[in-house]
Every structure is written in structure tokens, then in C-alpha cells.
Structure 1
Amino acid sequence: MLGLGLSIEPQLWTLLFTMVRVGAAFLAAPVFSAVSVPLNVRVLLTGAVAILSMNAAPIEPPAEIFGLTTILSVAAEALVGLALGFILQIAFAAPLVASEMIGVSMGLSFATAINPQTGQSTPALGQFLTILLTLLFLAVDGHLVLVDLVVRSYTLLPPGGAWLAPGKLMNIALFGGYAFLAGLLLALPVGFLLLCLNIVVGMLSRSAPALNLFAIGIPASLAMGVLALLVGMPAMGDYMLVIVREALDAAQMLVLG
């Protein structure tokens, strides 16, 4: 008998309690939280991973369903899951930061499209880089590593003592600066070539004031940007792999220790 005299199978209550952490992680993590993923698929995937977690570690849910201890335990489980997914989401913001820097220099900041991850309007170049990062994330089995982190979190942070220390929360917040750092480094090859082009255009404007810079500078910036993306894409792809590995390592270190 649990709570207010409600007769509920203990295994079902344990499953629902386990799904809180797993569902929160999938709700915040990239790929799993995409708008294109149907809701029933998310629920089934959450239940499957929760069953796997129940078999991997002993999980004891709160004795009462409606109680202050239960509410605090559910909040702690949701906090751990959201922290695991949020760190990966921070890393996935790096392509959007890079696209803003590149798009402004190229003159493509006005070109927007619907992002399949969030369903919101984002720069077209940012959407392209985000899709590329998502494919690399799946190629290196990042989604499986995330599932493994969620399952192992029940051993390292068992339910009932899963509250994150203030120091860990501070480190997770400070990790938000990694999105700007990674975005800057990701845009560095293209940004450097566009900076050199702007210097050349500035020198032309000083030597020939009568020259129409808008008729020359904007097409030249667009052409140079496309050429720079073509040349620098291998290096950008390699750094995207670094971003994925750094995000997975940070999720383990900052949350699980």
C-alpha cells in the first residue's frame, strides 16, 4: 500500500520514478529533444532506458506517492537528468554562435530557416552546421554514450542522494561560456579570410573613393565566404568532433564526477 491507500504495483511505481531522470535527460539533450521526434517514441524510449537502469542498479523509490519526501526526490531526479542533457545542449549552441559571426561577415545574416531541433527560425548557415554536428554526434555513438551516462548515474548518484552540490551547479553554469569559445574557434578559419578581405576592401576604399564598395564588397564577401567554407570544412569538421567529445566528457565530469 502506497500513499493514500492506493494499491500500485511496486515495480510500476519504481519504473515511473526511474523514468523521471531518464525523461529529463532526453528532454534537455540534443537529438532526443528534437521537435521531429514523436512524443510516443520519446515515452517508449524513456521507458526502455528506465527498465535498463532498473536492472543495472538497485533503485528504491519513495515509500509514499504524495509526500514532501517524494516531491523532493522527484525534483532531485529531474535536476540530474536536466544537467546531463543541458551540458550537451550548450555544446550544440556553438554552431549557432559560429554562424552568426560568419553570416554577418558574409552578408547572410538575413537568410533564416526552421531548425528541426527546436522548431524555431535560425540562420540557414547555423542550421547547416547544426545538422553536420548532429550527424557527427550520431556517427561517434554520442547518443549511446549519453544513455550509458544516464544508466551509470544511478550507481554514482543513487536516488535519494542525487542533489547536485552548489559547486557542481556553478561549474555547469560556467560551462556555458564554452559555447562562445567553441563557436569562435569554429568560425576562425572563415572569419580570418573574411577579415583579410575586409582589409583589402578598406584599402581600396581609401585609394579609390569613387569606387562603389557596395557593388564590389558584398558579392566579394559572399564569394569569399563560400570558398572559405569549402576550404575550411575539413578543419571545421575535425573541431566539431572535438566539441562532441568535450561535451560528453564535461557531462560526465561536471555531473557524475
Structure 2
Amino acid sequence: MMIDILTNNFVSFLLIFLRIIAMFFSAPILSDNSIPVFVKIVLALFMSYVLLISLNINTPLASLNFTYLTISALKEIIVGLAIGFFMQLIFWGISYGASLIGFDLGLSMATVFNPNLEISGDVVSTLFYILAMLTFLLINGHIFLFTALHESFKLIPPTELKISDSTAQELIIQSANVFIIAVKIASPIMVTFFLMNIAEGIMSRIIPQMQVFFVLYPLRIGVGFLLITTTMIFFFYVIKELLKLHETNLIKFIRVLG
């Protein structure tokens, strides 16, 4: 009897650990390579122990065969990755919106290395990504991630993941929101440059001898950076509200998984 209890607790602990460590390698901030893998593993082990005790998680084990344990482990990894992936969506949307701004500014070829995403992106995209990360920390988004993880074990106990049509539909809807977020971020600058393009077209028709593109190109960059600077408070507010809304959607998404 004692061996069965210990075995049950060990398997439950392992399943909890797999969900947590999967989220650590996919969620914003936590997946950053500046955090050593050893630290992630130790923190995941500690959290697994705390959750096992505090939530009194006791996974009913129908059998301890290899197939059952493998499927259960895959379920927990999927849940952890799904939570992290879901939170990353908004940052991808913000980065994409900033890339649209950089394209209008003519700075899409001016790239810098983004240490968080480990890719080269334009300077505007990297700037907005860092702004989004700082905003995420300011509104205690990192704490919310742990809260959401805690709630996930209440809504989706180990081995209880259910993938249905509603799950796929919700994931598709939230993935499509990446483009909506991008438009919300880029729309003020895009509208301004659209009007500038119309003005450039009119000027090129009125004064065909004038090289409008070469004359006004430096002006476009100056106006773009002026708009970004003057509307930075607006961008901060929009990003903050988008993050709060996304946090609410994450809890809904976890409920769908359960």
C-alpha cells in the first residue's frame, strides 16, 4: 500500500513538473535564454513540489504501463506549451505591428539582433518588443503566468487534457488576433504615412521635375520618429490594455482545454 502511494505521488509530481517546465520553455520572459536552464529546472522542481502539496493532486493511475505514462506525459507537455504559446501571441502581434511601422519608415532593412527572440529584426520592431516586455513586467504579467499555471491544475488536472473542436476553434481565433493587434499598434503611423503618400503623389504630378522620393524620404523618417516619440504614451496604454485582455483570454483558453 505504501509503495502504491509513493508511486502515485511520484508520477503525479513528474506530470506536474513536465507541464511547468514546458511552460518555462515557451512563455515570454521565462523562455529567455538569459535564464540558465539549471535555474529553470530547479524552479520547476520546487513549484512542482509546492503544487503537489498545496493542491493535493492525486492522479488516478489506471495502470503504470509505458504507453499510459507516455500519453499522460505528452498531455502535460502540450498543456504547458499551449499556455506559453498563447501568451507569446500578443508579443508576436506587437512585433508584427512594429514591423509594419518600420516598413513605412523605410527602415525594414536596418536590422538589429533581438536577444529575446534570437532573430534579427528591424529597429522599430525590437524597440516595441522591449517596450511590450517592460509593460508586461510593470503590470505583473510574470506573476499572472504563475497564477494561470496554478489555475490550470484546478481546471485541467494531470492526464485530463481534452482536445476538442472548440479548442482548435479558440486557438485559431486567438492566432488570428495577432493581425488585429498588429493593426491596432501600427494604425496611427500607417494612416499618417498613407496621407503623406497621397501628398507625395500630388506633388509629383504638380512638379514632375522634382524627385519627390529622394527629397521627402528623410522627411518621412523624421516624421515617423516624431510620431513614435509623441505617441509613446498612447502605445504604452494600448499595449497595457492588450496584455490585460490577453490575460483574461488565457484563462478562457485554459477552461476550453479542460
TM-score normalised by the chain length of structure 2: 0.90
Residue number in structure 2 paired with 1:160: 159
Shift of 1:11: 4.7
Q: Aligned partners of 1:198 and 1:50: how far apart in 2?
A: 56
Pairing of 1:41-80 with structure 2 (within 5 A):
41-61=39-59, 62=61, 67-80=66-79
SS at match of 2:25: helix
Q: Which residue of 1 aligns with 2:223?
A: 224
- Give the Å deviation of 1:32: 0.7
Following superposition, the deviation at residue 153 of structure 1 comes to: 1.2
Instruction: Give 1:13 deviation, angstroms.
Output: 4.2
- Equivalent residue for 1:253? 252
Matched with 1:202 is 201
Output aligned runs, 1:161-180, within 5 Å.
161-180=160-179
Residue 144 of structure 1: aligned partner = 143
Q: Give, in angstroms, the shift of residue 10 of structure 1.
A: 5.8
The answer to whether the Cα contact below 8 Å between 1:194 and 1:224 also exists between their aligned partners in 2 is no
Q: Percent identity?
A: 24
Cα deviation 1:205-254 (Å, max 9, x = unaligned): 11001101232121011011001101211111111011211221111101
**Contact conserved, 1:113 with 1:121, CA < 8 A, in 2?**
yes
Tell me by how many angstroms 1:149 deviates.
1.0
Give the aligned partner of residue 35 of structure 2. 37
> How far has the Cα of 1:166 moved from its partner?
2.8
| Residue pair 1:114, 1:121 contacting (<8 A) in 2 also | yes
Q: Deviations over 1:61-116 (max 9, x none)?
A: 54766511111111111111111111111111112211221111111001111112
Report deviation, 1:202.
1.3
Determine the C-alpha separation between the residues in 1 that align with 2:24 and 2:116: 13
Greater alpha carbon shift after TM alignment, 49-58 vs 110-119: 49-58
Distance 1:52 1:169, change over 3 A: farther
Gaps of 5+ in 1: 2-7
Aligned equivalents of 1:37, 1:169: Cα separation in 2: 32
Give the deviation of 1:170 after TM superposition.
Answer: 2.2
Mapped contact 1:79–1:163 kept (Cα < 8 A): no
- Please give the alpha-carbon distance, in whole angstroms, between the structure 1 residues aligned to 2:11 and 2:160: 19
Q: What is the aligned partner in structure 2 of residue 109 from structure 1?
A: 108
Residue 86 of structure 1 aligns with an amino acid whose one-letter code is F
TM superposition score normalised by structure 1: 0.91
Distance in 1 of aligned mates of 2:43 and 2:163: 25
* Distance in 1 between residues matched to 2:121 and 2:50, nearest whole Å: 36
In 2: Cα distance, 1:164 partner to 1:151 partner: 20
Q: CA deviation at 1:138?
A: 0.8
Q: Aligned equivalents of 2:251 and 2:9: distance in 1? A: 28
Unaligned runs of 5+ in 2: none
Q: What is the aligned length?
A: 252
1:99-151 Cα shifts (integer Å, max 9, x gaps): 22111111100111111212111121111101110011111111111101111
8 A Cα contact 2:8 2:58, kept in partner: no
CA contact (8 A) 1:111 1:124 kept: yes
RMSD: 2.0
Q: Which residue of 1 aligns with 2:129?
A: 130
Letter in 2 for 1:246: L
> Of residues 24, 30, 48 in structure 2, which corresponds to 1:26?
24
Letter in 1 for 2:133: T
